[in-house]
A = this chain, B = another copy of it.
Amino acid sequence: MNQIILEEKFLRMIKEDLGSGDITTELIPNSDVKAEIIVKEDCIISGVYELKTLFNLFNIQVHKSAGDAKAVEKQQRIFLLSGKVHDILLVERTALNILSRMSGITSLTQDFVLTARKKNPRIRVAATRKTTPLFGYFEKKAVKLGGGDPHRHTLSDMILIKDNHLKLFGDVRKAIRKAKKESVTHKIEIEVNTIRDAITAAEEKTDTIMLDNMTVEQVKETISQLKEKNLRDAVLIEVSGGITLENISQYASCEPDIISVGMLTHSAKSKDFSFRIL
């Protein structure tokens, strides 16, 4: 995202963390210092571009930095910085909170991607909208840097007809026809739970079919029937619901196009970093 646009978001973050003032740091004279960020565990880092933008906004110079999406080792220096100590300590915690969350997501995404691609080198691992409110940009960016697909950022990115919508449309056929009539700008995806609905969706030429909460066998069978009816190639197949590092290989071997994984953004463990004034 453009730096000017990001800056506004950072300003809001820092203001919220600041309260009415950094009453500890104000006790210290505002001298020039150097500082570094060290990673405390092996991982794939992300958030480097974002932190550079944050540091720049607060007039903190970045002398060295590791690269986004790179594997780093415990104790490796990720950033070498210099600036006024009041500025540096003001942004310290927010910087670490972004870096540790993003790196946690990027590392977990890479695990999922590597595991899935062993069985199916062309599979895409995608995120969902199960993101932290107001922090979704950072989480989706972290997924992307881990080799995943960010999927929808917002409700306006694509038409995605989910089970709750379907109850109100009546049936799959009507839903897709309504959607196709409405928009030539957006892709149409529909969530289905049965093979029958998957076939109907393919017949109606939806762009993508999400097979939701199906077992590995059901996914296999669905794809097999779509192939038989010559409907497989014209649609993308996305598998969703209950995907873990343990079962993703099996789903990947069914040869869908996309596997979406909520836990990439809702349950990744943060990575540990520390911030040191030198």
User: What residues of chain A have their CB less than 8 Å away from a CB belonging to chain B?
Assistant: 1-2, 4-5, 8, 11-25, 27-29, 31, 33, 35, 57-58, 85-87, 89-90, 92-94, 96-98, 100-101, 104, 124, 126, 129-137, 149-165, 167-169, 175, 178-179, 182-187, 207-208, 236, 257-258, 263, 266-267, 269-270, 275-277
Whether A266 pairs with B19 at a CB distance below 8 angstroms is: no
Complex CA–CA separation, A38 to B270 (angstroms)? 28
Residue of B nearest to A183 (CB): B23
Please judge, given known A-B contacts A24-B159, A156-B19, whether A100 and B266 are in contact too, CB under 8 Å. Answer: yes
Complex CA–CA separation, A85 to B168 (angstroms)? 9
Complex CA–CA separation, A182 to B23 (angstroms)? 9
Whether B165 pairs with A28 at a CB distance below 8 angstroms is: yes
Complex CA–CA separation, A277 to B162 (angstroms)? 11
Whether A157 pairs with B156 at a CB distance below 8 angstroms is: yes
Please judge, given known A-B contacts A2-B90, A133-B135, whether A27 and B157 are in contact too, CB under 8 Å. Answer: no
Whether A132 pairs with B23 at a CB distance below 8 angstroms is: no
A contact face: mostly helix, strand, loop, or mixed: mixed
Q: Chain B contacts of A31 at CB under 8 A?
A: 168
Residue in B5, B15, B168, B275 whose CB lies within 8 Å of A28: B168
Whether B18 pairs with A154 at a CB distance below 8 angstroms is: yes
